[in-house]
Amino acid sequence: MRAEMGAEQPETIAAIVAAHRAGTVTPAQTVARTYRRIRDHNDPAVFISLRDEKDAMAEAEKLAAKDAASLPLYGVPVAVKDNIDALGFPTTAACPAFAYTPTHDSTAVERLRAAGAIIIGKTNLDQFATGLVGVRSPYGIPRNSIRDDLIPGGSSSGSATAVGAGLVPLSLGTDTAGSGRVPAMLNNIVGLKPSLGMISTAGLVPACRTLDCISVFALTVDDAALALSVMAGPDQADPFSRDRPLGAITPFPTNLRLGVPRNGQLIFFGDKKSEAAYADALKRWTALGATLVEFDLEPFYETARLLYEGPWVAERYLVIKNLLASAPDTIHPVTREITAAGARLTAADTFSALYRLQGLRKIAERTFANIDALVLPTAPTAYTTAQVLANPVELNSRLGTYTNFVNLLDLCGLAVPAAMRADGIPFGITLLAPAGRDAMLASIGRAFHADTKLTVGARGVPQAPLAPLPANGGDEIPVAVVGAHLSGMALNGELTALNGKLVEATRTAADYKLYALQTTPPKPGMLRVEAGKGAAIELEIWSLSSAAFGKFVNAIPAPMAIGTVRLADGRSVKGFLVEPEVLGEARDITSYGGWRKFMADAATA
């Protein structure tokens, strides 16, 4: 294991933001340190394009004029996989002949920047995100951050090694068949694969458009969950987007039931060390209080086979069919071989596979009827770069044993480090659950990771103690805000000054109208209307102590009022409404779906 105990240690997002807010370190100092670490690491294969340091420093210095308390990623350096658009960088998907210059950020990157993050570069990947190995790129093979001879994992190779090596505390990957999980295990970091549609894929070069996720790499579960909460939310630019806020991280449950495969169903390809590490991980779960419940893994294996033996390869073919026809030699030979097979699939093949998948999804639903989550190896084994180059397709396929079925079954996943083997190879487990249970996975995954007492990443840095969860007892009152009190908006400081905590971003039920009022500063007014005549309005839920809630409500001026707001999922919370008699001179802005989008449009008008 590569350790640099004498060098500066990598920090978590939580530590960086806390230092920035306290003023002990400035965002500019953090950015300067990031570039110094990149130079010291000296691996040109990690980044495909790197932002000019002076430009990044200038952006960091401008952050000083902003309200640090309202920016959850205040001054955090972030790397972005180079199949995700980021303004100021070409998007290559690791294929120079495919490269283009985007005219705006992807939605995910836009939301990171709005939260105070600083994008410093675009990272390497298996070309067109096809592969779990990280060796299929004309831009080179990033060094594994733990052991030089190991593959970095893919397809998000650069993103995972950048976090593992301590170059950045946060990076974006993508995950269609395991690309956000396998490289996390191989670099001893956390890989969070959210529920499908939770993070918008607008601005992502597709691999399989119906299955793609933008994923998160971080040193801790809490860091990954924070980044997810910033990016999650519906997006009209992505027809596959869903309204799936993260929700609250909770204490470890007392009656957790974890699914483990029946005896003899697990495959490790002869790797006894991985097999033993998985058995030890199960003992750790039991010691934490979980009940292990056996389930049949075979239907999940069958689903995994559909991904590359079925019609979903045609989705990959659609992305690059023009390049395959005009300049096939510009495509990596292994990628070309895999993708070209998609041209031969028929509509009959597609429907046949869809019918079988629907049956397998029903089996998965029954599996989860009495199980909270599955716990599986992230990958069955690990390989060296030399081994994979000698046998590229078979060994890549083996790495997807426990990942390929996940998106087909609409599951969320969290890959967490579990052990460092005696041979210096990291081992990890992945938690899987039905879509929408992302917060539950984070809640249990953070406890497991802390219990391992593993160092984070590759530099031998101990984990900090788990941060206490926000109070959520009887003294806490949730309040829904829709306008100037939203994160980053003019009056958000009124909430943070009262120690308010952001709980989640979500939407109302579809029976509200939103109006722009004639006030200073600008504010909206939300009014409930007859069912079917309104829309779902974006809002945030904040938590205040009962005393703080009283102070907050007492200071609200007319025509604003606090009433009961019905949410999209059927819950009701106290929140901002408007007195209807003032709406005669107000502008109906319901079509924007929320105050933030209206203000953004007004700023560019």
Task: List the structure tokens of 43.
Answer: 């691996």
pLDDT of residue 505: 82
Looking at the structure, tell me whether residues 208 and 101 fall in a common domain: yes
pLDDT digits (tens, 9 = 90+) for 299-350: 999 999 988 777 877 778 777 878 878 888 888 888 887 787 778 888 888 8
Looking at the structure, tell me whether residues 416 and 547 fall in a common domain: no
pLDDT at 84 over 50: yes
- Residue 553 sits in a domain whose CATH number is 3.10.490.10
Tell me, yes or no, whether 202 lies in a domain. Answer: yes
pLDDT digits (tens, 9 = 90+) for 380-432: 999 999 999 999 999 999 999 999 999 999 999 999 999 999 999 999 999 99
Tell me, yes or no, whether 317 lies in a domain. Answer: no
Burial 378-387 (b: 16+ CB within 10 A, else e): bbbbbbbbee
Task: List the structure tokens of 368.
Answer: 């989860």
Query: Once rounded to an integer, what is the mean pLDDT over residues 576-601?
Result: 91
d(CA 278, CA 267): 11
Looking at the structure, tell me whether residues 151 and 189 fall in a common domain: yes
Task: List the structure tokens of 132.
Answer: 């779990």
Query: Once rounded to an integer, what is the mean pLDDT over residues 587-592?
Result: 94
> Which stretches within 295-346 are classed as H helix?
298-309, 313-326, 333-340
Looking at the structure, tell me whether residues 32 and 100 fall in a common domain: yes
Looking at the structure, tell me whether residues 493 and 445 fall in a common domain: no
pLDDT of residue 64: 85
**Which among 66, 82, 155 is positioned nearest to 119, based on CA atoms?**
82
d(CA 603, CA 554): 31
Q: How many domains does the chain have?
A: 2
Pairing of strands 501-507, 411-420: unpaired
pLDDT digits (tens, 9 = 90+) for 429-475: 999 999 999 999 999 999 999 999 999 999 888 998 898 876 544 46
Per the CB < 8 A criterion, the answer to whether 390 and 326 are in contact is no
pLDDT digits (tens, 9 = 90+) for 133-183: 999 999 999 999 999 999 999 999 999 999 999 999 999 999 999 999 999
- Residues with catalytic function: 81, 155, 179
- Element (DSSP H or E) covering residue 168: none
Band of residue 6 on the pLDDT scale cut at 50, 70, 90: very low
Length of the chain: 605
pLDDT of residue 569: 66
pLDDT digits (tens, 9 = 90+) for 41-81: 999 999 999 999 999 999 999 998 888 888 999 999 999 99
Looking at the structure, tell me whether residues 96 and 230 fall in a common domain: yes
**Which among 277, 218, 285 is positioned nearest to 425, based on CA atoms?**
277
Tell me, yes or no, whether 291 lies in a domain. Answer: no
d(CA 369, CA 7): 49
At residue 417, φ and ψ (nearest 5 deg) are -60, 140
Looking at the structure, tell me whether residues 89 and 222 fall in a common domain: yes
Task: List the structure tokens of 503.
Answer: 């709980």
Looking at the structure, tell me whether residues 418 and 488 fall in a common domain: no
d(CA 235, CA 197): 9
Per the CB < 8 A criterion, the answer to whether 380 and 430 are in contact is no
Q: Which domain holds residue 493?
A: 476-604
pLDDT at 585 over 90: no
Query: Once rounded to an integer, what is the mean pLDDT over residues 288-296?
Result: 97
Band of residue 353 on the pLDDT scale cut at 50, 70, 90: confident
- Element (DSSP H or E) covering residue 521: none
The residue among 291 and 328 whose pLDDT is bigger is: 291
Which residues sit opposite 122 in a β-bridge?
49, 80
- Residue 165 sits in a domain whose CATH number is 3.90.1300.10
Tell me, yes or no, whether 329 lies in a domain. Answer: no
pLDDT of residue 605: 67
DSSP per residue over 367-415, as a string?
A: HTTS-SEEEEESSS---BHHHHHHSHHHHHHHHTTTTTTTTTTTEEEEE
Strand spans (E) along 100-236: 118-123, 170-175, 190-193, 213-218
pLDDT of residue 506: 83
pLDDT at 10 over 60: no
Assess whether the previous peptide bond of 559 is cis (omega < 30° from 0): yes
Looking at the structure, tell me whether residues 35 and 160 fall in a common domain: yes
Strand order in the sheet with 587-588: 524-528, 512-516, 587-588
